[in-house]
Structure 1
Amino acid sequence: MASHIPKSDAQAAPAPAQQYDNEIVDMAKYAHGYKVDSDLAIDTARWVFLDTLGCGLKALEFPHCAKLLGPVVPGTVVPNGSRVPGTPYVLDPINGAFNIGAMIRWLDFNDCWLAAEWGHPSDNMGAILAVADWVNRTNKAGTMKLANGKIFTVKDVLEGMVKAHEIQGVMALENSFNRVGLDHVVLVKVASTAVVSSMLGLSEAQTRDAISQAWADGQSLRSYRHAPNAMSRKSWAAGDACKKAVDLALKVMNGEGGMPSVLSAPTWGFYDVNFKSGKFAFQRPYGSYVMENVLFKVSYPAEFHSQTAIEAAQRINKKLAAMGKTAEDIEDVTNRTHEACIRIIDKQFKTMDNYADRDHCVQYMTAVMFVFNRLEASDYPDSSEAATSPLVADLHKRIKCVEDPQFTRDYHDPAKRTISNALTVRLKDGTTLEEEVVEAPLGHRLRREEAKPEILKKYIRHIEPHFPKQRVDELVELGNDPKKLYDMPVDDYVSLYATEKAP
């Protein structure tokens, strides 16, 4: 009988260790090794932190958001789990990341980044805050030792936000996922995976493994953001990305490996399957550029490419009032704009089927401003005054978008990054008003100092309905005291947002 023991010269040589795709190597190296030493980035992150928490609390007032939150099995409380601000929920960090990520993104009112790809870098806070809170509570309880026993402060969370902003934003500068039909939340998943892996104490090699798992994951289609399928999933897609990031990081922490050439592998890699065989391009190395230049949504809960159009309409309303005119006197409006606005939210003759359609339609949002001299989250539901207004519906169809190539170039220019819209209004009596141009919205870096008082007012408006005055005053005082805020253990800070009653 032939022996089943192979001869030594018949044994296969072990395969050489496969090198990771450089794109993944760079992300992991940045997540582990970069020291955030930009005072501007940390201070901006503080404002983003407060603003984002406020947006999440505001979303709890909307039943469609609230019904998605809480434990999978009602009544479940996870020992030393992640707390969900504005609720009594104490969850595992995976579901905690979903809850926080969904609520902060729900109203499309958190920060924004616009480039070849667009997105909302503070979406990553869902994963970062849930993990930091869970780690602290677990380590303090002594039930197990996570992240080498670290107790995260708010400053640590802000540094994690700077890094997640940077990974998502730098990737977005030159790489358009929307042009291949993928949603920008792929970048939330990848950025959160990188940062959370580092926070959990994984090695740099393990972080590479986790990032590769994020790229291998099935990526979300943008279908839920566009007609005919625009729907509420767009409001919880970032929460889903945060949830997946934490799940993957924990799997790798428990021994799961990675895929070194998940991007570049012929036929089966991300580039060939999902990116039309193209490769990622990079405009700059990872640093703190994105947080320093991030855009705040200060004025309106609206898709960001429309912000300057809505502001222009508000300015024109003042001129109309001085003339004794109203929206009923408008014959038509021309919006000179940038290409991204036309591609994403130009829906001149589209019927508004739901909330998701309305907050992603420049014509609807601009018409609401003309008719009611406001644009609020309450103007999007089907039964709202604005959604049922015949004048809004009629004016919506008479607002036309035309691209200005210079506006498009300025939109992509790293030195400008403006989001310009210019409205020209023609009245029924034949009068044409002077064009109203707004290039940089309030909240742009060019208008950052002007925006800060408004960001604080927005935060206060959003938290006031949820807490007694004493707690609101305490939170505002903390937010305005960087030294005290930065040194505070993040679980102690998150506990200030806990409530006894579910939304």
Structure 2
Amino acid sequence: MSAAYDDVVVQIAEYAAHPERIESELALRTAHLSFLDATACAFLGLADAECRRTAEPLFPTAAPHPSRVLATGYATDPVQAAFSTGTLIRWLDFNDTWLALEWGHPSDNLAAILPLADHLAQRARATGGTPPTVRDVLVAMIQAHEIQGVLALGTALNRHGLDHVAYVRIASTAVATRLLGGSEEDMRRALGHAWVDGGALRTYRHTPNVTWRKSWAAGDAASRAVRLAYLALRGAESPRTPLTAKGWGFQDSLLGGHQVTLPQPLASYVMENVLLKPWFPAEYHGQTAVEAAFRLAPAVGDRVTEIDRIEIRTHEAAVRIIDKTGPLANPADRDHCLQYMVAIALLHGRLDEEHYTDEAATDPRVDALRERMIVTEDPEYSRAYLDPAERAVANALRITFSDGTDTGWQEIRIPIGHPRRRPEAEPLVRDKLRRGLGSALPDERAELVAERLADRDALLDTPADDLLDLLVVP
């Protein structure tokens, strides 16, 4: 008799198999907002030539009912389309975020969901079936957010040098298999393969090895998930204890024996509480520091050369991820540097994609300010970061001038994309969407598409391929 599947595999498959259980109106409303936000990110990412080169399909394809790639004119197979879509969404580090023991960006999973939904809708039309709708896309997003986010509540991959995109692969595999019509058994087999894939190293997110891979790693994970879903549907046999196998399983091989768990039941908690980045592109642990710097920028004015020191109080995760001194190699390095982001915000009173370019970084004032910054962990901020009742992402700044005067502490505990500041975020997401669409579409069409996407009630029953008709660029 074959061994039983790992309990975590069973729980994820059972949850993914029942999309009808998703009943939270708040989760559905937030999923729509997250979708608009991710769409904006994809369009904005196209402005970067390296992003376009990375996202372009490697080879032409003649696949029937090809998946269209969001924000482009590419049409390819669902596996390649997942990679390309994920690369576009993630490129600017501007999509939604989840912070727990592990960090991540749950809308990365849209990279697997959207191309599959487009492909399946076209196939359904050709065969007389019922195409999946935008509601189906949003429900799949809720499920993928939940799987990735609840895993992150219980296990910190980063503590073992592994990247969070392993959880993207797990979540996307479960949901992709279900979208393709797979049974719970198919999902369990697909998940077995997803876990034994192990995890990518975080090397490419940390000095001195930061590269653009951090912007396509999630697309790579989503693409792998789609491939594994197809393999499972073809009957590929799978390990049943990929996590718990003694000596050779994920837990013993990669986590030093730490047990992977789902610390709370899978429902819709993560989508309801996900963090958005509606205002400016910056690694999330530094969002409130940048906002505090915006508030202090008028006090700096033309006194930049008089600044003696800039103190930053932050939380442990920020110290570990984005506290960087010394040279920064490229834009991917700069948008993960707390000091760089704060310096730009103080100098310009804003922070946009172009501020991470080589041209912007040559401003000698940026490194001069970075050299005057002192970053320290505030234990209270670290506690509040992990408190499920608070989920703060706190930072505080104080600027002291050479004459001994200072600005006083500017503290912000809750970023603007937090659920407690959601009303402030919603109009910013819509502005971000218009800006993204306007970067690739004629003004009249961009406004029309923005209006169509913003009307959630009308959008929900739209077939997925009709949605992609709106979002491709000739």
- Given that 1:326 and 1:371 are in contact with CA atoms closer than 8 Å, whether structure 2 keeps it comes out as no
In structure 1, distance between residues paired with 2:162 and 2:204: 11
Q: Displacement, 1:218?
A: 3.7
**Matched residue type, 1:101:** G
Structure 1 SS opposite 2:63: coil
Is it true that 1:208 corresponds to 2:188 in the alignment? Answer: yes
- Given that 2:57 and 2:84 are in contact with CA atoms closer than 8 Å, whether structure 1 keeps it comes out as no
CA RMSD, Structure 1 to Structure 2 (Å): 1.3
In structure 1, distance between residues paired with 2:304 and 2:62: 52
Match of 2:297 in 1: 317
- Given that 2:82 and 2:112 are in contact with CA atoms closer than 8 Å, whether structure 1 keeps it comes out as yes
Deviations 1:455-492 (A, max 9, x none): 11111111112112332222222223222100100110
Deviations 1:425-475 (A, max 9, x none): 111111122100000111101100111111111111111121123322222
In structure 1, distance between residues paired with 2:16 and 2:61: 33
In structure 1, distance between residues paired with 2:394 and 2:25: 29
Q: Displacement, 1:299?
A: 1.8
**Matched residue type, 1:140:** R
In structure 2, distance between residues paired with 1:69 and 1:456: 25
- Given that 1:71 and 1:89 are in contact with CA atoms closer than 8 Å, whether structure 2 keeps it comes out as yes
Structure 2 SS opposite 1:266: coil
Match of 1:219 in 2: 199
Is it true that 1:326 corresponds to 2:326 in the alignment? Answer: no
Choose the corresponding residue for 2:396, options 405, 410, 422.
Answer: 422
- Given that 1:21 and 1:261 are in contact with CA atoms closer than 8 Å, whether structure 2 keeps it comes out as yes
**Matched residue type, 2:88:** M
Choose the corresponding residue for 2:463, options 489, 499, 502.
Answer: 489
Structure 2 SS opposite 1:466: coil
**Matched residue type, 1:473:** E
Q: Displacement, 1:164?
A: 0.3
Match of 1:57 in 2: 43
Between the two proteins, the alignment pairs up a number of residues equal to 473
Match of 2:139 in 1: 159
Match of 1:197 in 2: 177
- Given that 1:70 and 1:91 are in contact with CA atoms closer than 8 Å, whether structure 2 keeps it comes out as no
Alpha-carbon distance change, 19 to 150 in structure 1, aligned in 2, over 3 angstroms: farther
- Given that 1:77 and 1:90 are in contact with CA atoms closer than 8 Å, whether structure 2 keeps it comes out as no
Match of 1:21 in 2: 6
In structure 2, distance between residues paired with 1:47 and 1:185: 22
Q: What are the within-5 Å matches in structure 2 for residues 353-392 of structure 1?
A: 353-382=329-358, 384-385=359-360, 387-392=361-366
Match of 1:10 in 2: none
Is it true that 1:464 corresponds to 2:450 in the alignment? Answer: no
Is it true that 1:86 corresponds to 2:60 in the alignment? Answer: no
Choose the corresponding residue for 1:342, options 306, 311, 319.
Answer: 319
- Where structure 2 has 5 or more consecutive residues not aligned to the other structure, the ranges are none
Choose the corresponding residue for 2:95, options 110, 129, 136.
Answer: 110
- Given that 1:422 and 1:437 are in contact with CA atoms closer than 8 Å, whether structure 2 keeps it comes out as yes
Deviations 1:319-349 (A, max 9, x none): 334xxx43332211111110000000001x2
- Given that 2:61 and 2:77 are in contact with CA atoms closer than 8 Å, whether structure 1 keeps it comes out as no
Q: What are the within-5 Å matches in structure 2 for residues 266-281 of structure 1?
A: 266-281=246-261
In structure 2, distance between residues paired with 1:494 and 1:55: 16
Match of 1:288 in 2: 268
In structure 2, distance between residues paired with 1:281 and 1:417: 20
- Given that 1:317 and 1:326 are in contact with CA atoms closer than 8 Å, whether structure 2 keeps it comes out as no
Q: What are the within-5 Å matches in structure 2 for residues 126-205 of structure 1?
A: 126-142=111-127, 149-205=129-185
Match of 1:12 in 2: none
In structure 1, distance between residues paired with 2:261 and 2:5: 17
Match of 1:399 in 2: 373
In structure 2, distance between residues paired with 1:338 and 1:274: 26
Structure 2 SS opposite 1:424: strand
Q: Which has the larger radius of gyration?
A: 1
Structure 2 SS opposite 1:496: helix
In structure 2, distance between residues paired with 1:79 and 1:160: 23
- Given that 1:77 and 1:89 are in contact with CA atoms closer than 8 Å, whether structure 2 keeps it comes out as no
